[in-house]
Amino acid sequence: MQRDGNLDQYISAFLAAHPQSHRLIVGYSGGMDSHVLLHLLAMQRELWPERTLEAIYVDHGLHPASAVWGGHCARVCRELNVPFRTLRIDARPAPGESPEAAARQARYAALAAELEPDAALLTAHHRDDQAETLLLQLLRGAGPHGLAAMPEAARLGQGRLLRPLLNVDRAALLAYAHAQQLQWIEDASNADTGFDRNYLRHRILPLLRERWPAANRVLARSARLCAETAGWLDAEADADLARVMTARPDALSVPALRELSELRQRNLLRCWLRKLGLPTPDIRQVRHILHDTLTAARDRQPCIHWPGGEVRRYRDMLYAMPPLVSHDGQRTFLWQPVANTYPPLELPGWGILQLREAVGAGLRSEIMAGATLTVRFRRGGERFRPVGRLHRQELKKLLQEAGIPPWERERLPLLYREDALLAVVGLGIAADFVADSGEAGWQLAISKLVGKTDA
């Protein structure tokens, strides 16, 4: 078969620009785009022996033919001698959630978990996809970050997300597929113009290209320019964040925020929420957040919600987090040692609790001595003496003095050995059980859903 030298050279140049990615994983759906990408890479393997190539098919479980499509992908990969596997996920949308958005989020979350630092997920998004994304974001009233559309390279999990075909038109991929006599899956839903993206693809973009043949290229250029602007805005936001950040990544100083102009406040807020992995609220919600929280009296505790996130004010701090889930304060978790160490303990709705060996810090090792520990929550009446205090005091009062936000006080994990309260996450170790200088100890830490707290 005759090969497309231009596409070969393009792929080679792209990979050369990303030498850190040694394990290449193609997100292979069986459609034309991803088939072309997989074929191009499989035909070039001898040019980069230091890399490996594999393919993953994500079965969302939403289409009755998904298993058949997976079988097709497996056969193609056998013919190309490319290692293949299927990743099955639950992509059912939550009430009120877009099915497309839910599937995309579940897909990328599952794929991100597959990536190690030297691995990259390669997707077959092309210039037509980029044009559609830009127009969709424009019609949604997005700013520079949304109009930047899709980057060629980005972080994903511990690895990278690469889009080698982003500056290639779909027509070039289709020509390659026909020249190589490739066989691919045609998903009938891709022709359903009831979906916004399909409507743009089949009805709007053909009209635009009829009048402006270079529409794809021009729209992609606009996306790159918006990406540059978004990068500059992020740099400005980072500088402002350095002025308003507190000891907690999920909290900002309200007095410092008030010193900024409203424009810089909005830019900073969006950047901060993205860094925390929270959905970005729209402009209306951003203004609502800033007005209601920054103008509230210090003794008020306003809370502003939007899908997937919320912001709360307490005293002079502004906190951001996923929506709080219901909490059962009567739950108890047993924490048992395994092979002389304590494995991470998951606390649903809160985070991951860990005990790490230390010297001169944390809980004295002799206190632990391989004991089964208990994690509970406040039930009222607890007394505690943290390091630096002479006497035990009511835990409720200590939490208030420490400025722990009210919504966290009932949810803070309390670590017990039998009836002895050893530590309160976010407050510290009990003075009676803390390791002395040079003494072996166990440092307690929790990786929260947003931010990290050391006990």
Q: Could you give the residue ranges of the DSSP H alpha helices within 144-214?
A: 144-147, 170-179, 196-199, 205-211
Is residue 4 very low, low, confident or very high in pLDDT (cuts 50, 70, 90)?
low
Q: Domains for the chain: give ranges and CATH numbers.
A: 5-223 (3.40.50.620), 245-321 (3.30.465.60), 333-454 (no CATH)
Q: Are 334 and 415 in contact (CB under 8 A)?
A: no
Task: Give percent above pLDDT 90 in the chain.
Answer: 67
What pLDDT score was predicted for residue 445? 86
Average pLDDT of the segment spanning 129-142: 94
Span 116-125, mean pLDDT?
Answer: 96
H or E segment and range at residue 416: strand 414-417
User: What is the pLDDT at residue 390?
Assistant: 87
pLDDT at 453 (0 to 100): 45
In the structure encoding, which two tokens stand for residue 366, read together? Answer: 């002799």
Structure confidence by residue, pLDDT tens digits, 5-34: 589 999 999 999 999 999 999 999 999 999
> Mean pLDDT of all residues in the chain?
90
Q: CA-to-CA distance for 164 and 152, rounded, in angstroms?
A: 7
pLDDT (average), residues 267-296: 92
What angle is formed at CA 129 by the lines to CA 54 and CA 152, rounded to 5 degrees?
Answer: 55
- Looking from the CA of 389 toward its CB, the CA atoms found within 13 Å total 18
CB-based contact 361:443 (threshold 8 Å): yes
Both tokens of 50, joined, read 């230091």
Q: Are 75 and 45 in contact (CB under 8 A)?
A: no
Q: Which residues pair with 27 in a beta bridge?
A: 56
Backbone conformation region of residue 112, classed left if phi is above 0, alpha if psi is from -120 to 50, else beta: alpha
**Residue 416 · residue 424 · CB < 8 Å:** no
The closest alpha carbon to 275, from 301, 304, 305, 252, belongs to: 252
Position 394 confidence tier, pLDDT thresholds 50, 70, 90: very high
Contact call for residues 94 and 102 (beta carbons, < 8 A)? yes
**Distance in Å from the first CA to the final CA of the chain:** 64
pLDDT at 348: 81
Residue 202 DSSP class: I
Least confident of 85-89, 91-95, 216-220, 221-225: 91-95
Query: Looking at the predicted structure, is the pLDDT value of residue 178 above 60?
Result: yes
Per-residue pLDDT tens for 56-100? 999 887 778 888 999 999 999 999 999 999 999 887 776 666 777
Query: Would you tell me how many other CB atoms lie within 10 Å of the CB of residue 255?
Result: 11
Tell me the mean pLDDT in the region 438-455. 70
Instruction: Identify residue 347 by its one-letter amino acid code.
Output: L
